[in-house]
Amino acid sequence: MTSAEKAKSEPLIDLQRLVVSVRRRRRLWLATALLGLILGGLVAAFLPSPPTAVAQILVVHPDDSPTDSGTLMRTDVAVLQTTKIATEALKKLNSTQAPEEFLKDYEGLGLTNNVLQLTVKAKSKDEALARAQALSDAFITEYIARNQAAAAAQQKALLDQRNQAQNELTPIEAAIVTEEAKNRNANPAQLERLYARRAELNSKISDYDGRAQEAGIGTPKVAAGTQIVDAPRILPRSLLKTLATDMGIGLALGLLAGLGLAAVTSVVKDRPVLRREISRHLGASVIAQLPKPLRFLRSSRAGTRRQRVAATLVRAVRQGNGPVSLLDLGARQVTAALAVDMARELAETGPVSLVDDLPKANLRELAGEGPVQVLDRGDAPMAAGERRIGVGSVEPGTAWTDLEFLGKETILVVRTGHANTEWLHTVARQLADRRIPIIGVVLVDPDPRDHTDGTLWDGLHTALRGRAGVVPERREEVPERKAAPVRRAPVERAERPTPKPVEMFPREKKIGRRHPTPYKRATELDNADQPTKRFAPVSPDNAEAL
């Protein structure tokens, strides 16, 4: 798979990396959650909710029916929250507040099809009670007036229909009187039609009168039934309940804000936190890891783990003869302590010196008085049989040309999530340009749940397994052939010519080997499988030589 295809196959957002990044930033979202909790408590203590008055109104609907689904009550709630009702209430209160602002201080809720609950907020309890009473009175007055106007309009329409029928009845009566005055000359068919028409008009007039009276009777019923059934009262307010509610809301909002901020920053900053990402970007395998050091607590367990890691690194660098460097990237104190532990481990077999090029590390103080000697860069030439460990940094601002004097090989001590991808590439590229191979990477403060593989398998010359030197010559014992027993034949056989012996190993015979072996030396193995004796990058010249 090419690099382009590999880049296309990678997801836009790695969920595992995102989860690990958010978990590593737990200080951020825990701090925001705590801040939200504190702010919620302060709001509840110093900014309490204003006094609230509640009133309940019984509303009688003229067109109410058992099958109504609350449409009439929703209409009443909508009418309550209009500027007309707000203006009438403000007039009763003699207030100069704008009706639009007053609408924000109260709300209505339909409890049933005929019970309306009114909630009003104000700066004081007396003002809240007065506003609730004024709003209730304004709503009842407007509701009764609206129903009376509707009933009056309906009654007027019925009376108009009655008057129109009476006006039409008057000529019919006159026609009947004129026709009856003819006596024997009267037309019976004409009289029959006039009588039928008069009866129909009399029936309409009577119906209109009855309906007009019913319309007039309905308004007093609505006016008498619509009233305040629960007088305005102040809702009791519990400080403890309000405090718990506000703090819970603040905690939830702060936690969500912190998690969102941590997720966004982890994507934007692009700082690798997984073992496989760090090893891939640096081009070296992760060979050890150490927990995050605690400043306020010196744990013997952490020191023991650091000494174990130092012993592992000593075994990795013991085979080389040249100086080795430890380069820091975000873990200065851990790098210095690890270098001192390695020096003390190597001091058991010979003289060891530390080359201090790590700023603000107090390497001399950590080494103390002992067999380990701390030198400045370029103080003294390296003596025969002496081992040197250079301690430096690859933080931004590093003098890359000075890294060659710290060691021919290096071990990177990298703090997880400290550097972004671009800087990891810069470190790997600069070390490659200086021809300083990376033995391995020591991770500091890794995620305890990160079980990704931090080992590189491509390129034996950059792998830790390639530091074992030349593979020893493989030999296998050739079993000795037993002489066949001599059999004496009683019958004489004809003598046959002795065949010429076949040379099975002509090459070994030419070079004068006494006992041939069917195996090759390690130098004759394929270049792809041959481990390097010295851990060094492959250059074009070396590649042609291989």
How far apart, in Å, are the Cα atoms of 265 and each of 12, 25, 261, 329, 420? 15, 10, 6, 21, 12
In the structure encoding, which two tokens stand for residue 244, read together? 């718990």
- Least Cα distance to 90 among 39, 134, 27, 26 occurs for 134
- Number of neighbouring beta carbons within 10 Å of residue 246: 21
- Calpha distance 347→329 (Å, rounded): 26
Please report, in tens digits, the pLDDT of each residue of the chain (546 residues total): 444 444 445 566 677 778 888 888 888 899 999 999 999 999 888 888 888 999 999 998 887 777 777 888 999 999 999 999 999 999 999 989 999 999 999 999 999 888 999 999 998 899 999 999 999 999 999 998 888 888 888 888 888 888 888 888 888 888 888 877 777 777 788 888 888 888 888 888 888 888 887 777 767 778 888 899 999 999 888 788 888 989 999 999 999 999 999 888 888 888 888 888 898 889 888 988 888 776 544 566 778 888 888 888 888 887 766 789 999 998 888 899 899 888 888 888 888 888 888 888 788 888 877 788 888 876 667 777 788 889 999 999 888 888 888 888 899 999 998 888 899 999 999 999 988 989 899 999 888 888 888 887 764 444 555 454 433 344 444 444 544 554 554 544 444 555 555 444 444 444 444 444 443 443 444 444 444 333 344 444 444 444
- Calpha distance 449→397 (Å, rounded): 33
Contacts 24+ apart (CB under 8 A), 506-509: none
How far apart, in Å, are the Cα atoms of 48 and each of 45, 322, 506, 516? 6, 73, 104, 99
**Secondary structure letter of residue 185 according to DSSP:** G
- Calpha distance 507→510 (Å, rounded): 5
Q: 3-class SS at 298?
A: coil
Q: What is the pTM of this model?
A: 0.56
- Calpha distance 409→438 (Å, rounded): 6
- Calpha distance 23→453 (Å, rounded): 20
Asked if residues 32 and 255 have their Cβ atoms less than 8 Å apart, the reply is yes
Residue 163 host element (H or E): helix 125-180
In the structure encoding, which two tokens stand for residue 37, read together? 């909790």
The residue whose two tokens read 């090459």 is 507
Model pLDDT, residue 398: 85
